[in-house]
Amino acid sequence: MLLTVALAALLMLCGISAYPLNGDEYGSILAARHIGLSWNAYIYFVFMKLWARPGSSDIWLRIPSALFGILTTVAMYKIGNKIVGRRSAFAAGVLTATSPFLIYHSQQFRFYSFFIFATSLFIIATIYLVEHKKSILSITMSLLSGLVLILSHFFGFLAVVTQLVTTLLISRPHKSRWRSMVLGSAILFMLLLGSFIPGARHRIWQFVQVHTEASGPSEPVMAPLSLVHFVKVVWAIYIFASGYNLYPFSNIFLSAFLSIEICLIFFLCVKGMITAKNRWSLMPFIYMTVLVGIFIVSDPVFGKLSGGIAPRHAAFIWPAFIIAIVLGLSTVTKRYFYIMLCALIMLNGVSLWSRWTRQWSYDSSPDYRFAGRFALSRVISKTAILYDGRSEGPIDFYFPADIPRIRLWGYARQEDISALLRYKRIIVVTNDYRSDMRQAFNKFLKKIEKWFTGADCRVEYPLFEYIFERDKIEKDGYPVDEKTGQIYQPLDIYGLEFQDLRLPVDIKIDDSSLKVVGAFMLPDLEGACELSIPLANPSSCSYVRLLSNVVGLDGLADGQQVAEMAVEDKNGEITVFPLRLGMETQDWSKPAQFGSSLKRVYKWHKRIAFVGYHHYPEAWRDFQAGIYSAAFKMPPRRDIYKIRFRYTAPKGILYIWGLAIK
C-alpha cells in the first residue's frame, strides 16, 4: 500500500500548477471567503476558509484537493482488500493513484476530490458494517461518514441513499442477487423519477437555486429527453476511464488504442458484475443504474440551471466504476490479471501525458496567466481594462493590480461612453459565450468604433482580449493600414463554433500579410443581414481582398450565392460582387474548389464540441475548418468610399475575418 500511496502523492502533486485557475475555481475562492454563500460542499469550504489564511497562491489552494486524492487511494486500496483480496487491493490502489479523472480533480481548487473521497470513505464504512460484527464504533463511523458525504456535494444525499440501498440488498442471501439488482435499481430509479412530479420538481428547483447559487429562471424549465442524454451517459463513463484531456479522435492510432482499451474496460466491468463470486458485485450495477438515471432524468429536469449535468457532478459513481473493474480483474488468472492491469495503466499514462503536454482539455479553460501577461505587455500611459462579470475573478487573480479596471456591463447598457475618452488605450476582456451577453457586448463594441480602433487581440475561446487605441478625433469610418492595406473592420464576440480557433493569426497571401484579430457576422445576433463599412478616407485600389467563411449551411450546393459585396466609390458608383459558395467564399468545413481562384489560407482542427444545452448544428462534427481568401478586381481609377455586405441565403452565417484593399 505504501508504494501506491507514494505513487498517488507523486502524480497528484506533479504539475499541480501547470494549469491556471479555471472559472469554477474562482467561485470556490468566493465561497471560501463568504461561508454560507452556497450550501453546496459546505463542509469543504469551511475547511478551505481556514486553509487559505496562510496563503492564497493557486498551488496552496489546490493542495487540499491533492491530499483528498491521496486519501482516496488509501480508501480504495482498503475497499479492494476487503471485498476481494490483496491482489485486487493492489489493482484498486494503482488504478486510483494513476486515474486521470481523480488526478484532474485533485489538482483543482474544487470540492470534487473531497466528494470522491467522502464517497469512498462511506463505502468502506458500510462494508465494515456488513462484513464484521456490528459495534458502536462501526455504526458511528457509518453515520459520520454518511453525514460528511451529504455535506460534500448537492448529490451527496443521492450518494448516501445509493450506498444504503446497496448495503441493505447485499445483506440478503446470495441466491437472490439478481432479484436484489432489479429491486435496488428500481427503487433508485423511482426516486429519481419523483423529480418529474410538478410540485416536487418546483421545490427541488428552488432548493438547487438557493443552495448552489445556480443561475436560471425561477420556475422549472424542462429540456426534452433526447439521444444526447443517452450519449452523455457513455461520455461520462469515457471520462471516468480516460479523464478530461484525451481527445478520442486526435488520430487513427489513438482512436484504435482507445477502442481496444474501452472494450477491455467494458469486458471487465460486465464480467465483474455478472460472474464474480462476490456479493459486492451488486454495487457497481446499482451505481451504474443511478448514473443512467442522473443523465436521462435529472439532466432534463435540472440541467437548465447550470448548462447541463457533467461527469464531475456524478463523481460519486467513479469509485463503483473502479470496483467493477477490480472485480472483473479478480475473475481472470494471475497472468492475465497483470497483463490487463498494465494495459489499463497504459491508458492512464497516455491521458496524463496529454494533460501534461496541454494537447486538449474537455473544459477548454482559458490560460488567464498568459492573458494577464498579454495585458501587461500592452499597457501604456492612460490604459484601462474593461471586463465582464465572468472574467472578474481571473482578472483579480492574474492581471496587474495597478491598471484601472472598469465594469463593462454599465457601458454595455448605456449610450454615453464619454468617461472612456480619457484613456489612450482600453483592453476589453469578456469571457461569456451566452448569446444574450454577446449581443450586449457587440453593441458596446459598435458604440466605441467612432473613438477607438481595434489594433490587437488575444482570443482563447471563450476569453476575448481586444486592444483598442484611442483616435485623436471622432472618425466617420474605418481606417486603413498604410502598409498592408488592411481595413480595421468591425469586430464581434462570436459563438462557440470557433472555440478551437486561437487568435491572432498572421495570414500571408501572395505578396501581402493580413492579421486576423476577429470577425463580424451576418446575420448578426439581432437578425440584421446587412452591414456597411465606410472608410475613414477614400482610397484608390486595384482589388479588394476578402477573408471569410460560412457556417451552418446544411447542404447548400457549391455555386449558390449566399451574399453580396457592394463597393461604392466617392462619386457614388457601386460595383456589386456576388459571394458564391466555392467561388468567392466557402462552407468552413469544405476545401476550396479545384481550379477556383478561392484559396483556403488558414485551417484549424475543429473538434467535436461537448457543449450541453449550448449545442449548435455542427457541434458533433470533427473536421479541418478553414478561412478562405478571394480577390475582387476593381474598375480603374476608383477611390473606394464604402463597402457594404448583404447576406441573402435562407440559412447559415457569413463571417468576415479580414478586408484589405490594394
Pull the grid cell for residue 588. 468552413
Single pTM value for the model:
0.90
**Span 544-557, pLDDT tens digits:** 999 999 999 877 88
Label residue 101 by pLDDT band (50, 70, 90).
Answer: very high
Look at residues 447, 529, 459, 523 and name the one whose alpha carbon lies nearest to residue 490. 447
- Residue 180, pLDDT score: 64
Label residue 200 by pLDDT band (50, 70, 90).
Answer: low
Question: What's the mean pLDDT in 336-358?
Answer: 94
Q: Which of 79-88, 269-278, 498-507 has the lowest mean pLDDT?
A: 269-278
**Span 601-617, pLDDT tens digits:** 999 999 988 766 567 77
Question: Is omega for the bond preceding 366 within 30 degrees of 0, making it cis?
Answer: no
| Parallel, antiparallel or unpaired: strands 383-387 and 574-580 | unpaired
Label residue 201 by pLDDT band (50, 70, 90).
Answer: low
Out of 114-118, 162-166, 222-226, 366-370, the most confident range is 114-118
- Residue 306, pLDDT score: 53
Q: Distance between CA 119 and CA 449 in Å, rounded?
A: 54
Q: Specify the amino acid at residue 151.
A: L
Name the H helices within 304-434.
318-329, 334-356, 368-377, 392-398, 408-413
Share of the chain above pLDDT 90, in %: 58
**Span 122-139, pLDDT tens digits:** 999 999 988 887 788 888
SS3 141: helix
Q: Which of 69-73, 257-261, 407-411 has the lowest mean pLDDT?
A: 407-411
Task: Identify any residues that bridge with 564 across adjacent strands, giving them in sequence order.
Answer: 578, 646
Q: Please check the confidence at residue 457 and state whether its pLDDT lies above 70.
A: yes
Residue 624 · residue 514 · CB < 8 Å: no
Task: Identify any residues that bridge with 464 across adjacent strands, giving them in sequence order.
Answer: 430, 459
**Span 8-48, pLDDT tens digits:** 999 999 999 999 998 889 989 988 988 876 678 889 999 99
Pull the grid cell for residue 458. 488575444
DSSP 152: T
Share of the chain above pLDDT 70, in %: 89
Question: What's the mean pLDDT in 365-392?
Answer: 92
Label residue 176 by pLDDT band (50, 70, 90).
Answer: low
Q: Please check the confidence at residue 210 and state whether its pLDDT lies above 80.
A: no
Q: Please check the confidence at residue 213 and state whether its pLDDT lies above 60.
A: no
- Residue 595, pLDDT score: 67
Radius of gyration of the chain (CA): 28
- Residue 639, pLDDT score: 87
